[in-house]
Amino acid sequence: MKIWRKALRRFTHNIFNRLFLISSITIVVTVIVLIVTITKYYSDIIIQKEVNINNRTLERVEDYVSDKDLDIKKSIRDLYINEGLIDDISFVLHNGYVDYLEYRLDKFSQNKSFIPDNIETYFTNYFGQDSELNAISICSLEDPTIEYLVVNNNIQWNNSIVDSDLILGNLVGQGIEQVAEESLPSQRKLKNTITIKKIINNPVTLKNIGEISFYFSTDRIDRILKKREGVSNSFFLLDRDGDIAYAFNNGVPISMLNQIKNETNETEIEWDSANYYVNTIANKGEFTYIGVIPDKGWAELSVIRGTMWILIISVIVIALLVTYSITFNYSRRIKTIVSVIRQVEERNLDARIPESKHKDELTEIAVNINSMLNELNIYIHQFYLLNIKQQQAELKALQAQIDPHFLFNTLEAIRMVAIVEGSQTSGKMIFHLSKLFRYSLQSNDTVPLYTEIENVNQYIKLMQFKYPNKLQVRFDVPSDVKQILVQKLILQPIIENYFIHGFKKDRLDNQLIIRVIELEDQINIIVDDNGKGMTEERLDQVMRYLETIENEEVQSIGLRNIHQRLKLKYGNAFGITIQTNEYAGISVILSIPKRGDRHV
């Protein structure tokens, strides 16, 4: 038991195993509930369908019998209208067949018409075209031995008599005055026959004088019932006394019929631990029509239920296999990701997650992790190089400054002496030079743009003291970009380069414009001059020089140093661009990200 518990805990420790277990239980329960519900619903539909078919079959049989009964009633009604015929019937029922023959001959001889008008011709004319009527029997109620039989279909009539030795009425109109007891109409046994009986009354006294029986073949009813498609069913036709006038039985207990109410309805009866669905049509003429479907007769329903359960098992197995395949695939991919992360933890930054063809969240995670590792490697490399470059630049600046602290303090002392002695210009130059030294001593790698421009302004003022009235300077810096962080000492070398290579000492119209343009995702710091300018060949040479990577220590903090620093910090899309301008000078453009962030 403990082993099973441990195995279960180990299995459920994996999140995908838990998902697989939960989804499997959900699938099994959902499919079973769904199929059971559908099966029950479909079973009810099948049962109701068969009950409706059974009811329509009963209605067809009832319509058939009702049509026959309607024809019989019409013939009886016309019989009463014909006084001669009713007299013939009354005579034969009181006197017998032999006396009736004499009576009929006398009556025919007295009749002026050559067409005989008697019982046989009447019923023959009425039912001669009805192939389902076997015979018509007129019996006396006072004397059961008297019967007048009119046979309409000899073959069917003879086949319907159970005992062939007692075949009666081989000839049309054969009457029997005295017969044996077993040959009496009441004792006669017929098969495949439905009998419809009508009482004959004396039209004067209204006294019952006899009974007319119409014997119909059941072939038509048999065809109706056999044509019925569906489950096995039984059909019964009960007369007024509750006796079975016709039966098409498929295993229904006859004793159960006594439990059926004589009314039109649909009901379910339990009998001998079995259920039966019963349709009844009553109060329609002389018969009650009963259709019975046994519960065990739902063969089609059993097949459907079996098919449904096979479908349940198949769907569950397929669903579980698909679910397991999906969860196993996700679990395997998660383990691969975890394995790569652990390799990274062990300082293997070259580890990468294999690419997957699936476009899902795990693929996105893998792509992001691989991208992060690539960026991390680039960041480490560039950060290291950037620090080296920065340290070299600062080292070079410190070397050029000799001892900045000592020099700064000495300059401050000289400035105070110059002011005391009345040399205002020398004091101001020393003041600006001191601010430049103080700015260079700051340890910050990045400063706000306005601070860098202020430092450049100090340098320009210092140079203006050196070359009075020979330089005009203009700053065009929008206020919303002044707080953007930039690298320190990226503008002064450009201005210094201008005074070395572009400034014209013999002219009074030297012009220097420092402006900032804000673009969509970057800003451009542009330094325009109207100095000596460059040829296109020289310009291309300088741009190629800026892109070369130094293999030795930096010897200056010139344009290439600034360009490489910008590329290392912000990416290859940023740096310095040099081009000629409309003032016949050059424009130096420094591009940096708008947010001033690193690209890594």
Segment 493-529, tens digit of pLDDT: 888 888 888 888 888 888 999 999 988 888 999 999 9
Percent of the chain scored above 70 by pLDDT?
Answer: 74
pLDDT in tens, 160-193: 888 644 444 333 344 443 344 445 566 678 888 8
Residue 132 pLDDT greater than 50, yes or no: yes
Question: The domain that contains 388 carries what CATH number?
Answer: 3.30.565.10
Residue 392 pLDDT greater than 70, yes or no: no
User: Which of 219, 239, 269 is the endpoint of a domain?
Assistant: 219
| The pLDDT value given to residue 474 | 92
User: Which of 191, 219, 247 is the endpoint of a domain?
Assistant: 219
Let me know if residue 566 belongs to a domain.
Answer: yes
Let me know if residue 353 belongs to a domain.
Answer: no
Let me know if residue 415 belongs to a domain.
Answer: no
| Residue span of the structural domain in which 476 resides | 378-401+442-593
Q: What is the mean pLDDT of residues 110-115?
A: 54
Percent of the chain scored above 90 by pLDDT?
Answer: 5
DSSP 8-state symbol, 482: T
- d(CA 512, CA 460) in angstroms, rounded, equals 10
188 torsion bin: left (phi>0), alpha (psi -120 to 50), beta (else): beta
pLDDT in tens, 27-39: 778 877 877 777 7
Let me know if residue 296 belongs to a domain.
Answer: no
Q: What is the mean pLDDT of residues 468-487?
A: 88
Q: What is the mean pLDDT of residues 279-288?
A: 81
**Band (112; pLDDT cuts 50, 70, 90):** low
pLDDT in tens, 52-65: 888 888 888 888 88
**Band (393; pLDDT cuts 50, 70, 90):** low
| The pLDDT value given to residue 526 | 93
Specify whether the CB–CB gap between 578 and 586 falls below 8 A. Answer: yes
Residue 486 pLDDT greater than 70, yes or no: yes
Please choose, from the candidates 10, 9, 552, 27, the residue with its C-alpha nearest in 3D space to the C-alpha of residue 314.
27
| The pLDDT value given to residue 496 | 84
| The pLDDT value given to residue 552 | 44
The number of domains in the chain is 2
- d(CA 213, CA 149) in angstroms, rounded, equals 9
- d(CA 87, CA 94) in angstroms, rounded, equals 11
Cβ within 8 Å of residue 414, ≥6 positions away: 430
Look at strands 522-529 and 485-487 and give their pairing.
unpaired
Residue 357 pLDDT greater than 80, yes or no: no
In order of 70, 130, 214, the CA distances from 67 in angstroms are 5, 12, 13
| The pLDDT value given to residue 174 | 42
Specify whether the CB–CB gap between 279 and 227 falls below 8 A. Answer: no
| The pLDDT value given to residue 515 | 93
Residue 214 pLDDT greater than 80, yes or no: yes
Let me know if residue 418 belongs to a domain.
Answer: no
| The pLDDT value given to residue 588 | 92
Total-model pTM? 0.48
Let me know if residue 177 belongs to a domain.
Answer: yes
User: Which of 187, 219, 251 is the endpoint of a domain?
Assistant: 219
Let me know if residue 167 belongs to a domain.
Answer: yes
Let me know if residue 31 belongs to a domain.
Answer: no
In order of 351, 435, 491, the CA distances from 473 in angstroms are 55, 19, 14
